[in-house]
Structure 1
Amino acid sequence: RAREINEAMKVAAAVALAELARQDVPDEVAAAYAGRKLRYGPDYIIPAPFDPRLISHVPAAVAKAAMDSGVARKTIVDMDAYKARLAARLDPVAGWLQGIFESLKHRPRRVAFAEGEEEQVARAANAFLNQGLGTPILIGREHNIEAAFASAGVALRKEFEQHNARVSAHAEEYADFLHSRLRRQGYLRRDCVRMVHTDRNVFAACMVALGHADAMVTGVTRNFSTAFDNVRLALDPKPGHTVIGLSLIISRGRTVLVADTSVHDMPTADQLADIAVEAAHVARRLGTEPRVAMLAYSTFGQPRGERSDRVREAVAILDKRGVDFEYDGEMGADVALSAEAMRPYPFCRLKDTANVLIMPAFHSASISTKMLKELGGATVIGPMLVGLEKSVQIVALGARDSDIVNMAALAAYDITG
């Protein structure tokens, strides 16, 4: 909103483009160019048009120049918030995570990146550091970490901590800790020594368990269940909490939490009630008052079935517990999410459409969230790991650098609370 476009604004735009061209190029841009690695040089002197950072980086610089040169009709008081609003127009995740990012800038954390030898992890760790979210701790062999950073075109600065599990001064301490937990489960001490020396997830989990890091992120090179099993060797559930996988769906301006998407295969009624309580707790931690729908293929008894009866039993258990959030069920997903579909059931205790969906089983939760992402165009974050005594997040196999940064931020923030 400027009275005119002056030279100062044009120069600011040019300088912003030049600055962006010199920065690390995110995975989204490489994907648009068939995986080609773009780096500043004779063949890349201006950011690619597909670069998602353009929408927040350049307009903010131009707006500041307009204000400084006196031609702006409106003053932007909070430039960071303005950048966040711009980024959210292209990426709804950016807007949703902005509060978490701002919190971390005031209280940065030490996060272990368990797969520090991977190129996209190098870019993610660099972005995590550049955004002021905390200190990245890279787990891996020094020469492989250096190669990953060189391949990514990222400078390996002194601010990055590096830990080689094979020669770490903490290896014996971690092995003793692990053996104390596993010795009655068939593990010899030499087994624990081997795991600490050779398994990056186990090493990073021990680091977090013993307070040498605040959180960890992993998953780029291993599937969720494998990484989760590695982490559970060193970490227990937080007292009073249930470990669950929670996915966040952003679609058509609505945000919905879905559980359990990764841990409990066929939960019992008691487990379904526990999952509902944990998901409601996370919803509040993320600034949302929960309205929990206990989902099934049936709605309020029609048609009846074994799984639906288990969901009904879970609702009865929540009744007995006297929980302090809205919930009801069993109900179909359409009834939970549509006011029109809910109208024939005026006795439903939800005052509005649900924003937390508790699935009757792991498979239905996993299938539905993946279908929403691939066919419905929804943005899916997660599954986010909730309920451990220390904060850990596991990204999807082969995740992009931006996804790793987001999950590292969630780990640092500790959504379990």
Structure 2
Amino acid sequence: MSKLTRKQDALDYHASGRPGKIEVIPTKPTHSQRDLTLAYSPGVAEPCLQIAENIEDVYKYTAKGNLVAVISNGTAVLGLGDIGPEAGKPVMEGKGLLFKIFADIDVFDLELNTKNVDEFVQIVKALEPTFGGINLEDIKAPECFEIERRLKAEMNIPVMHDDQHGTAIISSAALINACELQGKELDKVKIVVNGAGAAAISCARLYVSVGASKENIFMIDRSGVIRKDRAKLEPIKAEFATDQDLNTLEEAIQGADVFIGLSTADVLTAEMLSTMAERPIVFAMANPNPEIAYDLAVATRSDIIMATGRSDYPNQVNNVLGFPYIFRGAMDVRATTINEEMKIAAVRAIAEMAKKPVPEAVNLAYNIQNLRYGKDYIIPKPMDPRLITSVSPAVAKAAIESGVARKEIEDWDAYTEGLRLRLSKEDALLRSLNLKAKSAPKRVVFAEADNYKILKAAQIVKDEGIATPILLGNKETIAHIIKDNCLELSGVQIIDPKDEAEKLEKYSEFLYKKRQRRGVSQGMAARLVTDRNYFGSCMVEFEEADVLISGLTKDYATTVKPALQVIGTKPGVDRVAGMYLMLTKKGPIFFGDTTVNKNPTVNELVDITVLIEKAVRTFNVEPRIAVLSYSNFGTVEGEVPEKTREAVRILHEKYPEIIVDGEMQGNFAINSELLKNNFPFSTLRDQPANTLVFPNLESGNIAYKLLQELGEAEAVGPILLGLNKPVHILQMDSSVREIVNMVTIAVVDAQSK
């Protein structure tokens, strides 16, 4: 098992808190007796009677239209084989999670205890009244072909076996673009498919549908090239049998334009690759290790276009580019099936999207300055938010045009905007930041490394490639914690400041010179730098580390003081401020100041707002700032309304480019409809604020903690703003997840500096 998926980490992830990865939550109010009588008896009788009268009303009054069943019998689970339905359940839950976060589709996963095709079909067919779509998953070949064929024929809702069609759709889009870039005609290229399972057969079929010639496709299984004269040739493989005198991959690959790998690692050698035609196309999609290593392939053929199934190389063929959006489009028009026209529409939409200018958010997420169509970008990135607004409408239109839709879409612009708003907003930003951090990891010094949570977080950020940890503390104590908890931190630098005489001398001399006129003597400087917060701050100041993380076991003021004395504020910045990123169901909202300035003056409030505005932009978010009060634009007089009102006036005057308004109450700030109806002159009337500036520390601190506990929002921070170099302070007793999130943001901060 790889470092990223250590056995115990994976087990802990699935077992912690509520077991599993998904839950069911109510979508209607349930707080009163009236709510309950409407939800169940007697109120529920009314929609029941309406549906009995008109069965199509089931889509109006129930969740059917947004509910997919992910169904498996566990006979071909990932690379694990036939491990049974119970053992396959974590995978099905994971598929449900992807449906939800990428396309806002709800899922019930169903694991069936049968290997009998007739029984499987009978069970699934009987579930049609419950679901709007059926996603078949991890069913072994050849049974999967027969199961899908029969269910598609006998059911009137979309059915798709993603193991077959997901890879086929994504790789078809990649193949179209790769052929275009390599100057090859799809109907003339010679294609070698290594593998003859469900995915391979479906890929070959779809390649033919989008323009490839069946006669130019050569398929290879464990016995060699599939030939028409093979004894006991399976019917499903006979479709791509050749009458040419070819026996091995080595023979078939000679002069081939395209290699499609859906098999095992390292079966395509550099020698074989060198015999392919000019400007070859290689899709080595075996996971986790491709049929030929990426580095070896590009070193062997400089004229190659290559794709793999891995995220750490260009051109990842990832099913998540397809299935969430295909089902979204199919279900939104109540399609009776997912037909060939809809699959081809998805292929074309994905292929065309790669040719369009890439949003800056995607460039930032992958730390690429200008991602554009070319040999290293033939299909979109999985994190591209445009997928739902490109693929789903294309699929929906194809369903309507091919006559399988039962619902028309009259306003396509409104439909597309609705799709955009469906995206899972609360964690999309953090996923994007995680990718950005991994693109250029930084050296992070942990001042409190004699703590299990810190060490566990250090292991995670090291394994995930987010950061290179540096641990401060007693070496024996740290080694003891690592051993007792079976942590893997071999090779990580551990520093005990007390043992670093040379560094202590250098740091104390620096601190004395910097603070000698602020009450720090030479002796005091020598004592202070032995403190790990001072020592870590000096490491960052002397560029021996990029980021300092501290605060887990000490109060905020004690932790931030060394950073202020050693590093200081940015040029032109007079103060620091604290900001929290709150991940809410309505998207990310930034809160400030929540940790530093107790009762800022008007000018201080202006400075804090400018600091926060610049910080929010580093997250690739356009700040829309509300300066909060208990008054709305003069409705109440008092010290706080007057202060916030004056701060906004100065901001409008000195920083006209900043989108900011106030003073206003919190509910008006985040409810643009409420604001527009009552104060239509406000600069925030068209969209809600995403950045809230509080009039004092008390209100900001109370607000974020209440939202965290009662609103089920995840708080990431505090993010310290205004320092000349990155230092970030943890909440006392943060969880491991919170520490990892903070390190991620700290690394992104260091990248921006």
CA positional deviation for 1:59: 8.6
User: What's the counterpart of residue 238 of structure 1?
Assistant: 570
Per-residue deviation, 1:254? 2.1
- In structure 1, which of residues 353, 357, 381 is the aligned counterpart of residue 692 of structure 2? 357
Query: Which residues in structure 2 correspond to 1:391-402 (within 5 Å)?
Result: 391-402=726-737
The number of aligned residues is 380
1:77 aligned to which of 317, 339, 343: 317
Distance in 1 between the 2:635 and 2:661 partners?
15
For the 8 Å contact 2:627–2:695, the answer to whether it is kept is yes
Give the corresponding residue for 1:291: 624
Q: Distance in 1 between matches of 2:646 and 2:98?
A: 54
In structure 2, the gaps of 5 or more residues are 20-86, 100-136, 139-161, 168-194, 204-308, 310-315, 321-380, 386-421
Offset of 1:314 from its aligned partner? 0.4
Q: Deviations over 1:158-206 (max 9, x none)?
A: 1x11111001131111111111122122222111111212x11111011
Write the mapping of 1:165-244 to structure 2, written as runs, cut at 5 A.
165-168=497-500, 169-197=502-530, 199-241=531-573, 242-244=575-577
Q: 1:266 to 1:64 in 2, by over 3 A?
A: farther
Which 10-residue stretch deviates more, 183-192 or 407-416? 407-416
CA-based RMSD = 3.4
Instruction: Report the secondary structure of 1:166's partner residue.
Output: helix
Q: Please say if residues 475 and 494 of structure 2, whose CA atoms lie closer than 8 Å, have aligned partners that are also in contact.
A: yes
Question: Residue in 2 aligned with 1:375?
Answer: 710
Aligned to 1:40: none
User: Partner amino acid for 1:409?
Assistant: T
Residue 164 (structure 1) aligned with residue 150 (structure 2): no
Alignment of 1:8-407 (within 5 A): 20-23=6-9, 55=94, 67=167, 70-72=197-199, 77-78=317-318, 95-158=428-491, 160-168=492-500, 169-197=502-530, 199-241=531-573, 242-342=575-675, 343-350=677-684, 351-407=686-742
Distance 1:166 1:345 in 2: 61
Q: TM-score, length-normalised on structure 1?
A: 0.81
Q: What do residues 311-332 of structure 1 show as CA deviations (whole Å, max 9, x unaligned)?
A: 1110111122133121111111
Q: Contact 2:427/2:583 (CA < 8 Å) preserved in 1?
A: no
CA deviation after TM superposition for structure 1 residue 405, in Å = 1.3
User: One-letter code of the match for 1:345?
Assistant: F
Q: 1:82 Cα deviation (Å)?
A: 5.6
Cα distance between partner residues in 1 of 2:14 and 2:564: 32
| Superposed CA offset, 1:132-165 (max 9, x none) | 122100011110110121233212311x111110
Q: Could you say if the C-alpha distance between residues 136 and 29 of structure 1 is closer, same or farther in structure 2, counting changes exceeding 3 Å?
A: farther
What's the offset of the Cα at 1:20? 4.2
Question: Aligned partners of 2:622 and 2:628: how far apart in 1?
Answer: 19
C-alpha displacement at 1:373, in angstroms? 0.9
CA apart distance, 1:127: 0.6
Question: Using the alignment, how far apart are the partners of 1:24 and 1:230 within structure 2?
Answer: 38
Distance 1:319 1:411 in 2: 31
Is residue 27–residue 400 contact of structure 1 (8 Å, CA) maintained in 2?
A: no
Partner SS state of residue 648, structure 2: helix
C-alpha distance in 1 between matches for 2:552 and 2:651: 37
**What is the CA-CA distance between 1:392 and the residue it aligns to?**
1.1
Query: Contact 1:127–1:405 at 8 Å: present in 2 too?
Result: yes
For residues 1-46 of structure 1, the C-alpha deviation after alignment (integer angstroms, 9 at most, x for no partner) is xxxxxxxxxxxxxx89x9542448769956779xxxxxxxxxxxxx
* AA aligned opposite 2:537: A
Under a length normalisation based on structure 2, what TM-score does the superposition of the two structures give? 0.46
> Can you list the C-alpha shifts for 1:209-253, whole angstroms capped at 9, x where unaligned?
111101111111112222112322212111234421111122223
Distance 1:180 1:153, change over 3 A: same
Separation (CA, whole Å) in 1 of partners of 2:579 and 2:449: 25
Q: Is the alpha carbon distance of 1:274 and 1:27 closer, same or farther for their aligned partners in structure 2, counting shifts above 3 Å?
A: farther
Conserved 8 A contact 2:163-2:198: no
Residues 387 and 107 of structure 1, relative CA distance in 2, 3 Å threshold:
same
Alignment partners' CA distance in 1, 2:515 and 2:668:
46
Work out whether residues 454 and 739 of structure 2, in 8 Å CA contact, stay in contact via their aligned partners in 1: yes
Query: Which structure's relative contact order is higher, taking Cα pairs within 8 Å and 6+ residues apart?
Result: 1
Q: Could you list the per-position Cα deviations for residues 78-112 of structure 1 after superposition, in whole angstroms to 9, with x for gaps in the alignment? A: 48976999xxx9x9765322222222322121110
AA of the residue aligned to 2:711: G
Inter-CA distance 174–55: structure 2 relative to 1 (3 Å threshold) = farther
Q: Residues 25-71 of structure 1, C-alpha deviation per residue, up to 9 Å, x if partnerless?
A: 769956779xxxxxxxxxxxxxx99x99x848x99997889957743
Going from structure 1 to structure 2, the CA distance change for 1:225 and 1:327 (only over 3 Å counts) comes to same
Aligned letter for 1:229? K
Distance 1:26 1:175, change over 3 A: farther
Distance verdict in 2 for CA 1:151–1:398, change over 3 Å: farther
Counterpart for residue 45 of structure 1 = none
**3-state secondary structure, aligned to 1:221:** coil
Q: Which amino acid aligns with 2:564?
A: R
Find the structure with the greater CA-based Rg: 2
